[in-house]
Structures are given as structure tokens and as C-alpha cells.
């Protein structure tokens, strides 16, 4: 705070406020100034964020920071500022129009309890675009877009914000003498606070509906809406909660890099496809196989294909091994094709049908395959893994492929498994490697 | 660090953290979601904040405001998310907001094949907002380039006070590759310029139109203003046509005049070649294979791989076009960047090799449809 108290946060440099004579925005904006004077905030630490709408013209009349953004999104800018700098005082001025188009932001700022203050200049219609109806237009209200009288019901902004978890909610009218004090109280609330200020749009809504100062209370009564403090449920502000939560989070130890410990016999780009089902650990086993190839000095890529409902249906992984940089990452004619579930066989039917003679297919003996020119070897993958652990079937099959192809040593696969898998799983999978290798005569 | 088995999305998140990113907001969308996951885990460890917004519009709103409050900001989405970002991206351009937007492209339009690849958003991000103002877009071809271009993207965003797109795709984002990130040459980090010694801060101050105004963060030493409406150098709303045009000229000049600094590309030109293949992103890797095969068969062919898509690296393209009779532009879309090449390759035959069936453009397709072999 500066040594001399702030007597106003408004600048005269821009002339008079731009609102129509008699518009409630005059009162709201001047009351905000009085509230800031009461709180004696450092103007550098205050940001007034405004929406599109007549009230959005107000920010530059203040000597504080000013942020004027897109229609309906002012809450998001206020939140972004507050998340980046929780120490700042962030006040959002928005109309009833902004509350409609940006309704989800109102719900979510209330739910998250991000400590900004929202002041709604609620005059029941869009003043800036010609007096169209808004989400708060009273039933029966005449506007440019409800010439026969509004058949929609008004949104209870306060009830909505309170139901979504706003920590402080108040409904006032622009004619309340203590409006500056109410605004100051709203700003002081550490969490999200909302002040819904009912007021007159003298250009459109008031003349069309003969609404004057005294009619506001009648409208409130008609819609069973109350004024005054409607919610006061303090709880920790978002950023404080976030810091506390992330500090408790344990840091994950980074995985060790892969050094070349083994040799390989791969002379050209080699494509391997493993087709199975959800729950067979296809993806993670393909990854550990790829890491084993890297322990053997190979370049590797891996792509996966699985349905978005991840716990059902097919799961297919494609691995390319190469002694050199891999440029083209598609496998047009696989060198090895492993099939360990019927779902995988069905999903890959077209590919299996078009496999070349040079390809070797290693398939579980109980799975029916479509016609193919490739060499097919039927092996007891499922039965073998049943004895070791159901989740080991992909490891059994890839170990079998490794022994069959000799592309890199079994030891490399064991090294990758013990480096990257949790010990209980690694123990099972090392057994699976032995068992898979034994399947090749 | 040594050799690792990483997907492009993780490389981007690592690079962002390395570049000092301390704010992230985004909304889940395949195939970019893992960037959201990595950033939610790592940004708080960088002392920053990462949040999942209620939608893409909110996420971009958070990002813009956080960037103007001094944070280094990343967001990530895919094509449908760019639609929802677009109005705010216009705001970020006119508000001169430094931030990096990753678009992990997927097959579209609409929901399309959500889990499948395409490079569909090339001109979408180019013309993402009204008026024809320039944008910066980089496009990596590999996991390693995704890593290094993320650093470049942060540097360009900070240096030129503008949103920068990183156009990757499902094929790079969620394909794992064996990489050694520690061997990648990274550019030195560039931070935004701050105002020094001024009595009052003019948020959009410039002497020459191409100057990049320094930024004083919201909550910093100076009172700051930001506005979505046409404004002057002080960010005061204006209706004066001369001032409006001066600002528009500035947004354009600061990018246009920096084109050589922004242009990143790789030339593989062959003496005497009359065929040039211009490619970018994942398709440039098919091009590499195609070029090798053509040359093995005795066909002379040159290749230009663009890492910077926008502003169009015209000097590099024009230089590569010297002596060329036929240009081939392979793309995983129905022909987007080809329009940039066609206007520069006047009088030459320009052939698009295009598909959007979710699979890669193959080297064979380039050679056959391009009429190389």
C-alpha cells in the first residue's frame, strides 16, 4: 500500500463513463471504485477483467490492470490470471449475456473455488447488440427476440452458482445503498464469490417492459428469487488446495537409459506384428521387447491399435527392428506375425490373408486363422502361459519368436523385463521367457 | 540421459519442461491426451500449474491470461480442439500473447477416425482466424524433432510475442521410437523482453512496425492492459482507421520480417535433378525412403523437408525449385500445402500425392503417383 491512501481507482483521463444516462452500470462501476477505496488495494495487484457487453467498456476507466477478452470467456481469463498469480485480486465484470454463453465457466469456477470475484450487471437483456433476450430475461419479458413475451424462464444465477459450490453468493440491486460495502465483502472472500446485481437497461428492457426501480422487487417476487446473502460456505481456495495436493505427490523415479549390452543379427528392417486381445498385455510386452532390442543395439519403433474401450476387443502391436534409422514406420509385409487371440485374428484378417510366403506366423494352436500363404506354426501359447500366469502369454509368444528368429539374445529380453517391469511381474515373465523359448524345438 | 523408447507426445512434454514451461491447460482429446497427462504430472514439479479445463475454450482462456501474467505456457489438442480454440487464437495474435499450441493431428473432419493419423490441419491453423494475419507453425517428422522443435516453438513464441503451433500427428505423437534426446543440439533458450526504464508501459509499443513490443506481466512493475478490441499501442480501444491499420501492419510485419529466422528446413538437393519432392511431418520420412530408392535406380531427385510450414519458407523453396521441372508434394490430406508450392512453382508441373485413409503415404505411392519410377 502506498503512503497516501488511494481516494479513487478511476481515472478522469478518459472522460465520463460511456453508459446511457440512467443505466445501472454507472452505479455498479462507481460502487466498485468505492469498494476498492475501502480495501485500499495496490492498483498493480488488482486486475479488472471485463466481458463483451456494455459493462465490458468499464475496465479502462480504472487505474488498475485491465483485461478485456472474448464474449462469455471473462471468467476463464480471470481464472488464468488467478492460477498464474494467486496473490492478485481479480474482479470480473460480466453481463447476463456473458453468463449465458459462458454458463459452463460459471459452473466450473464455482465448483473449483478459484478465488476471483464475479460481478454480474444483470439487466435482463443484451444492451450492446440491440436488446435481445438473455438467460435472465423474466418470463413474459418483451425483447427484440421475444416480441410476443418471453416464454422461457429466467436462470437463477445465484441459485446456480450456489448449487455448483460457490463459496459466497449475494443478490443485490443497483439501488442498494450499501452496494460498495457488499462489493468489498465479495472481494474479501478468499474463494469464488459472485454478486448478481439487478439493474435497469434504460435503452431497451426498461422502456419495453415499463420496469422502473420499484418494479425490480416485484420481478424478484414473481420468480421467487431472494436478495441478500444467499451462500457463505468458505473452503480453501483452489491454488492453496492444488499446492497442498501436488506437494504430497511422490515423484516418479525416471527409468534408466538403455545401453548396448548385447548383439543382434538383424540386417534389414524387420516387421513384427503381435495380434491379441485386451488384457493380454500386448502393448506393454511389445514395449519391453522393443527395449530388449535396444539393449541389443537396434533401432525400434512401436505402434498400437486397440479400441477406445480399452478393456475389451482386440489389441495389436507393430514393432519394427532395424540396424539403421527407421524412416518409414508402416509394416507393409510383416516378417513375423504372432496371433494369440481370436479377436486379434479377426481384426487382422485382411492382413493375414495378404501375408507373403516369406512371413512366419506363430499362432496359438486353438485359434482358427484365415487362408494365408505364410508359413504357419501352431504352438501351445495359451496352455504354456496358464501354468506360469495368465498375463504372461504375450511374453511366452515373443520369447518363442525370439528363439525362432534369433534376432537378438534371450538374455536381452530378460534384461529389459527386469529393468522395466515391477519385480513380481518380472519374475513371472522371466519364467515365461524360458517357457516360450522351449516351445521351439 | 541415454537411449530411451519414447513417444512423440512425451518428447514434447519433456522439452516443454526443459524450456521452462510452467503453465499448462488443456482438455482431453485423442491422440494428444498423453501430453495433458505428462504435463499435469510434471508442471507442478517445475513450480507451475497445470489444469484440465472444462472445455477447450476455457483451457485457451486460462492459457492466454497465464501467459500475460508471466508464465511460459503450453497447450495441446487435436483438430476438433483447434476449432474451439480458434476465436481465442485470434485474440492471442492481436494481444501478442506468447504461447505454444500443440496440434496432434488426426483423421477428420468432425470426429473422423479419432485414433488414426492424418495431417489434416495444415491450412486450418494457417487461416485459423480472420484477416490473413501470419502465424508461425512448425512440424516435426520424428520423436527427436518433436523434442527439438518444442524448444524452438517456445523460443519463437517468446521472441515474437505470438502463439506458435507445433503441428505433429498421431503417427509421431503416439508412436514410440528408440531415441537419445541427450544427443540433440538444442537452441539456447530465449525469454521475452521486458520494458526497461519506461515511466508508463505501452503494452504494444513499437518504433518500427516489425519491432516486437516488450511485455510487462500482469501483476508486475507496471499497470498493464489487454484488449480483444482494436486498440492503439497503449491497448486503449480505438476506432481511428489509421491507428487500426498501423497495428494490423505491425502484427504482420513482425512475423514477415523475421521469416529467415523462423525458417527451418532440410535440403537434400541432387545436382542435375529435375524432380523435387517437398514434404513435411511424417510424410517426409516416406519421402526419404522414396528418394533413396529412386537414386539407387539412377533417377536424379531432390528433396526439401520443411520443419517450418508457416510463414512459408519461400526463399528455401524458391532456391530448391531452381532447374526443377516437376514438383511432387505428398501429404496425408487431400492437398493442403500444395497450394503454397503451386504459387511458387509457376510453370512447373506440380503433383499432389494424397490420401486420408488413416494409413501413411507410402514411398511406393510417392514414386508411382509422382511419376518418378
Contact status of A421 with chain B (Cβ, < 8 Å): no
* Nearest-CA distance A318 → chain B (Å): 10
Q: What is the mean pLDDT of chain B?
A: 97
In the predicted structure, residue A182 carries a pLDDT above the cut 60: yes
- Mean pLDDT, rounded, for A8-13: 94
pLDDT of the residue at A1? 47
Which of B62, B68, B171 minimises the CB distance to A83?
B62
Confidence of residue A3 (pLDDT cuts 50, 70, 90): low
Whether A259 contacts chain B with CB within 8 A: yes
Taking only the tens place, the pLDDT of each residue in B233-291 is 999 999 999 999 999 999 999 999 999 999 999 999 999 999 999 999 999 999 999 99
Residue to mutate among B178, B201, B266, B279, with most A CBs inside 10 A, is B178
Instruction: Report pLDDT digits (tens) over A91-107.
Output: 999 999 999 999 999 99
Mean pLDDT over A265-275 rounds to 98
CB contact under 8 A, B66 and A81: yes
C-beta separation of B83 from B108 below 8 A: no
pLDDT the model gives residue A310? 87
Chain A residues close to B219, C-beta within 8 Å: 44-45, 47, 65, 81, 85, 87-88
Residue of chain B minimizing CA distance to A286: B176
Q: What is the pTM of this model?
A: 0.97
Rounded mean pLDDT of chain A? Answer: 96
Q: Compare CB distances from B225 to A66, A79, A291 and report the shortest one's residue.
A: A66
Name the residue of chain A whose CA is nearest to B144's CA.
Answer: A325
d(C-alpha A58, C-alpha A432), whole Å: 71
Residues 47-66 of B with CB under 8 A from A: 49, 51, 53-55, 57-58, 60-66
- Per-residue pLDDT of B164-218, as tens digits, reads 999 999 999 999 999 999 999 999 999 999 998 888 999 999 999 999 999 999 9
Q: Which three cell numbers stand for residue B230?
A: 482494436
Q: Which residues contact A421 (CB under 8 A, 6 or more apart)?
A: A288, A429
**pLDDT, tens digit, 9 for 90 and up, residues B153-167:** 999 999 999 999 999
Residues of chain B with Cβ-Cβ distance to A408 below 8 Å are none
Report the largest interatomic distance among the alpha carbons of chain B, rounded to a whole angstrom: 68
Nearest of B51, B99, B69, B17 to residue A243 by alpha carbon: B51
pLDDT tens-digit map of B353-369: 999 999 999 999 999 99
| Partner-chain contact B226 A67, CB within 8 Å | yes
Chain B residues with CB under 8 Å of A77 CB are 61, 64-65
Q: Above 60 in pLDDT, residue A2?
A: no
The contacts of residue A209 (CB under 8 Å, 6+ apart) are A138, A141, A142
B362 near A332, Cβ under 8 Å?
A: yes
Across the range A250-265, mean pLDDT stands at: 91
Q: What is the average per-residue pLDDT within A119-148? A: 97
pLDDT of the residue at A252: 81
Q: How many Cα atoms occupy the beta-carbon half-sphere of B23 within 13 Å? A: 26
Contact B362/A at CB under 8 A: yes
Chain B residue whose CA is closest to A287: B5
Query: What percent of chain A is modeled with pLDDT above 90?
Result: 95
Q: Return d(Cα B228, Cα B74) in angstroms, integer.
A: 21
Counting residues of chain A whose pLDDT is more than 70, the rounded percentage is 99
pLDDT in tens, A288-345: 999 999 999 999 999 999 988 889 999 999 999 999 999 999 999 999 999 999 999 9
- To the nearest whole Å, the CA of A51 is away from the closest chain B CA by 10
Chain A hits for B228, Cβ within 8 Å: 52, 68-70
Chain B residue numbers with beta carbons less than 8 Å from the beta carbon of A65 are: 218-219, 223-225
Residues B88-132: pLDDT tens digits?
A: 999 999 999 999 999 999 999 999 999 999 999 999 999 999 999
**Are the beta carbons of B115 and A308 separated by less than 8 Å?**
yes
SS3 category, A155: coil
E strand or H helix at A305, and its extent?
strand A299-305
Which of A162, A393, A414 is closest to A277 using CA atoms? A393
Query: Would an 8 Å CB–CB cutoff place B269 in contact with chain A?
Result: no
Amino acid at each position: 500500500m502506498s503512503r497516501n491512501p488511494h481516494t479513487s481507482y478511476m481515472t478522469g483521463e478518459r472522460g465520463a463513463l460511456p453508459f446511457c444516462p440512467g443505466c445501472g452500470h454507472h452505479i455498479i462501476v462507481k460502487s466498485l471504485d468505492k469498494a476498492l477505496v475501502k480495501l485500499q488495494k495496490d492498483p498493480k495487484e488488482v486486475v479488472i477483467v471485463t466481458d463483451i457487453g456494455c459493462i465490458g467498456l468499464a475496465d479502462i476507466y480504472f487505474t488498475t490492470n485491465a483485461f478485456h477478452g472474448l464474449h462469455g470467456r471473462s471468467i476463464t481469463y480471470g481464472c488464468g490470471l488467478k492460477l498464474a498469480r494467486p496473490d492478485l485480486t481479480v474482479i470480473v465484470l460480466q453481463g447476463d449475456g456473458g453468463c449465458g454463453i459462458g454458463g459452463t465457466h460459471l459452473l466450473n469456477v464455482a465448483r473449483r473455488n478459484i478465488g476471483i470475484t464475479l460481478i454480474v450487471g444483470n439487466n435482463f437483456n443484451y444492451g450492446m447488440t440491440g436488446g435481445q433476450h438473455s438467460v435472465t430475461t423474466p418470463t413474459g419479458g418483451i425483447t427484440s427476440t421475444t416480441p410476443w413475451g418471453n416464454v422461457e424462464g429466467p436462470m437463477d444465477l445465484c441459485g446456480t452458482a450456489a448449487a455448483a459450490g460457490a463459496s459466497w453468493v449475494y443478490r443485490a440491486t443497483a439501488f442498494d445503498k450499501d452496494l460498495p460495502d457488499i462489493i468489498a465483502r465479495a472481494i474479501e472472500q478468499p474463494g469464488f464469490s459472485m454478486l448478481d446485481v439487478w439493474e435497469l437497461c434504460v435503452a431497451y428492457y426498461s422502456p419495453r417492459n415499463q420496469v422502473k426501480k420499484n418494479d425490480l422487487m416485484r420481478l424478484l417476487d414473481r420468480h421467487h428469487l431472494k436478495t441478500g446473502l444467499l451462500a457463505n460456505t468458505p473452503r480453501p481456495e483452489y491454488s492453496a488446495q492444488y499446492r497442498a495436493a501436488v506437494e504430497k505427490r511422490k515423484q516418479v523415479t525416471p527409468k534408466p537409459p538403455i545401453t548396448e549390452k548385447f548383439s543382434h543379427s538383424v540386417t534389414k528392417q524387420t516387421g513384427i506384428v503381435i495380434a491379441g486381445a485386451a488384457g493380454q498385455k500386448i502393448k506393454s510386452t511389445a514395449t519391453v521387447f522393443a527395449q530388449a532390442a535396444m539393449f541389443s543395439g537396434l533401432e525400434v519403433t512401436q505402434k498400437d491399435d486397440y479400441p477406445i474401450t480399452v478393456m475389451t476387443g482386440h489389441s495389436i502391436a507393430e514393432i519394427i527392428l532395424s540396424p539403421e534409422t527407421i524412416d518409414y514406420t508402416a509394416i507393409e509385409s510383416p516378417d513375423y506375425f504372432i496371433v494369440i487371440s481370436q479377436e486379434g485374428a479377426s481384426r487382422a484378417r485382411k492382413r493375414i490373408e495378404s501375408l507373403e510366403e516369406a512371413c512366419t506366423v506363430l499362432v496359438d494352436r486353438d485359434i482358427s486363422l484365415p487362408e494365408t500363404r505364410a508359413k504357419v506354426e501352431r504352438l501351445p501359447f495359451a496352455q504354456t502361459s496358464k501354468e506360469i500366469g495368465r498375463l504372461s502369454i504375450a511374453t511366452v509368444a515373443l520369447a518363442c519368436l525370439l528363439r525362432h528368429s534369433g534376432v537378438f539374445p534371450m538374455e536381452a529380453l530378460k534384461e529389459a523385463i527386469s529393468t522395466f517391469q515391477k519385480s513380481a511381474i518380472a519374475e513371472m515373465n522371466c519364467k515365461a521367457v524360458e517357457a516360450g523359448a522351449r516351445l521351439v524345438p | 540421459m541415454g537411449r530411451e523408447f519414447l513417444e512423440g507426445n512425451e518428447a514434447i512434454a519433456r522439452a516443454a519442461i526443459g524450456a521452462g514451461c510452467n503453465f499448462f491447460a488443456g482438455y482431453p482429446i485423442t491422440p494428444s491426451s498423453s501430453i495433458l497427462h505428462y504435463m499435469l504430472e510434471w508442471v507442478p514439479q517445475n513450480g507451475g500449474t497445470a489444469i484440465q479445463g472444462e472445455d477447450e475454450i476455457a483451457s485457451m482462456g486460462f492459457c492466454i491470461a497465464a501467459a500475460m501474467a508471466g508464465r511460459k505456457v503450453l497447450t495441446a489438442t487435436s483438430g476438433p480442439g483447434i476449432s474451439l480454440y480458434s476465436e481465442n487464437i485470434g485474440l492471442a495474435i492481436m494481444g501478442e500473447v506468447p504461447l505454444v499450441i500443440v496440434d496432434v493431428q488426426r483423421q477428420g473432419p468432425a470426429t473422423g477416425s479419432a485414433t488414426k493419423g492424418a495431417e489434416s490441419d495444415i491450412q486450418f491453423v494457417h487461416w485459423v482466424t480472420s484477416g490473413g494475419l501470419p502465424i508461425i507453425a512448425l512440424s516435426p517428422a520424428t520423436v527427436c524433432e518433436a523434442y527439438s522443435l518444442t524448444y524452438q516453438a517456445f523460443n519463437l513464441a517468446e521472441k515474437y510475442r505470438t502463439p506458435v503451433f507445433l503441428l505433429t500427428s498421431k503417427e509421431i505423437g503416439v508412436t514410440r521410437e528408440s531415441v537419445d534426446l541427450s544427443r540433440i543440439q538444442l537452441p539456447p533458450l530465449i525469454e521475452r523482453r521486458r520494458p526497461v526504464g519506461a515511466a508508463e508501459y505501452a503494452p504494444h509499443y513499437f518504433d518500427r512496425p516489425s519491432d516486437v513490443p516488450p511485455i510487462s506481466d500482469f501483476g508486475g512493475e507496471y499497470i498493464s492492459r489487454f484488449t480483444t478490441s482494436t486498440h492503439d499501442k497503449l491497448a486503449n480501444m480505438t476506432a481511428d482507421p489509421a491507428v487500426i491499420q498501423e497495428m494490423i501492419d505491425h502484427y504482420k510485419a513482425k512475423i514477415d520480417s523475421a521469416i529467415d529466422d523462423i525458417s527451418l528446413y532440410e535440403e537434400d538437393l541432387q545436382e542435375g535433378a529435375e524432380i523435387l519432392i517437398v514434404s513435411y511431418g511424417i510424410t517426409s520420412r516416406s519421402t526419404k525412403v522414396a528418394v533413396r530408392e529412386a537414386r539407387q535406380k539412377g533417377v536424379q531427385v531432390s528433396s526439401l523437408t520443411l520443419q517450418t510450414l508457416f510463414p512459408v519458407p519461400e526463399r528455401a523453396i524458391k532456391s530448391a525449385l531452381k532447374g526443377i521441372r516437376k514438383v511432387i508434394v505428398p501429404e496425408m490430406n487431400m492437398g493442403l500445402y500444395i497450394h503454397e508450392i503451386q504459387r511458387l512453382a509457376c510453370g512447373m508441373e506440380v503433383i499432389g500425392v494424397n490420401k486420408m485413409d488413416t494409413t501413411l503415404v507410402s514411398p511406393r505411392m510417392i514414386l508411382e503417383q509422382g511419376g518418378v519410377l
